[in-house]
Amino acid sequence: MKKNKKKIAAIIQARMTSIRLPGKVLINIEGKPMLWHIINRLRFSKKLDDIILAIPDTKKNNVLEEFAGKNNIKYFRGSEEDVLSRYYKAAKKFKVDVIVRITADCPLIDPRIVDLVIQKHLNSSADYTSNILQRTFPRGLDAEIFNLNVLKKSYNEAKENYRREHVTPYIYENQNIFKLQNIKAEGKFKRPDLRLTVDTKEDLQLIKKIYRRLYKPKEIFYGEEIIDLFKKHQQLTLINKNIKQKIIEYKK
């Protein structure tokens, strides 16, 4: 990992109590927990200085602390429901200047896309840069980048439950306060129809099939290979085609 003037770190929010697929973050994929694959893929980033787990401080999530210890991964434990608080305190503890938000249900995260979004952010005066404000990439290749001062302002001012639980709504819902930047997919990555995240058994079935075909123990496969696989085996899109993305409940 390259050392930057500003410390750039991926903070991965992970918990064992997912509603639709409990314990999914440690489900076995090709001999390794799903969370291990996410971290391993991020380690191929050329822009990240650190990778940190943000884990709830409840007993059910002790297993994630054990996972972090066994795999020599930095972690912070905080509120399960107030993920914004957990994020901010994790960033403060490890002195992170630029936060890369990653969720623990994206086992196909592409470090090259993460690096692209990071670089676009660093080259701009944006407070927040992502590839999800207008979805053009496949779901599951998501990256949100924001500065510590932006996270601090959100932490101090976001009051609604959904803004505390989902970390970034306060930012992208206040374009009069923050400068936002959206990165659009180009070329073969223009596949917003693809669902490469894990919320359900169908999602997991698809991910396992992709790993079975592309996984290499000592290196990683990238997004281009995944897209090419879908072109070659179009029936793969049918596996989780009918799964609806969980919608953020905007209760104030």
The answer to whether position 99 is within a domain reads: yes
Q: 3-state secondary structure string, 189-220?
A: HCCCCCECCCCCHHHHHHHHHHHHHHCCCCCC
Mean pLDDT per 10-residue run, the chain (252 residues)? 77 92 94 97 98 97 98 97 97 98 97 98 97 96 97 97 94 96 97 94 96 94 97 92 64 38
Taking CA 140 as the corner, what is the angle to CA 237 and CA 8, rounded to the nearest 5 degrees?
160
- The phi, psi pair for 97, rounded to 5°, reads -95, -40
199 inside domain: yes
142 part of a folded domain: yes
According to the model, what pLDDT value does residue 244 have? 74
The CATH number assigned to the domain holding 125 equals: 3.90.550.10
Using alpha carbons, list the distances in angstroms from residue 247 to 105, 136, 166, 204, 250.
Answer: 15, 18, 11, 19, 9
How is residue 4 written in tokens? 């930057």
Range of the structural domain that residue 18 is part of: 8-238
- Candidates 121, 101, 122, 93; CA nearest to 5 is 122
pLDDT recorded at residue 20: 81
Nearest to residue 196, comparing CAs of 83, 38, 73? 38
29 DSSP β-pair partners: 32
- Cα–Cα distances in Å, from 63 out to 15, 25, 54, 68? 10, 11, 13, 9
* Cα separation, 151 vs 171, whole angstroms: 8
| 3 in a structural domain | no
Task: Please answer whether residues 64 and 21 qualify as being in contact, where contact means their C-beta atoms are separated by less than 8 angstroms.
Answer: no
pLDDT at 241: 83
Domain contains 252: no
User: What per-residue confidence (pLDDT) applies to 251?
Assistant: 41
Q: How many domains, in total, are found in the chain?
A: 1
- DSSP assignment, residue 62? H
CB 11 within 8 A of CB 52: yes
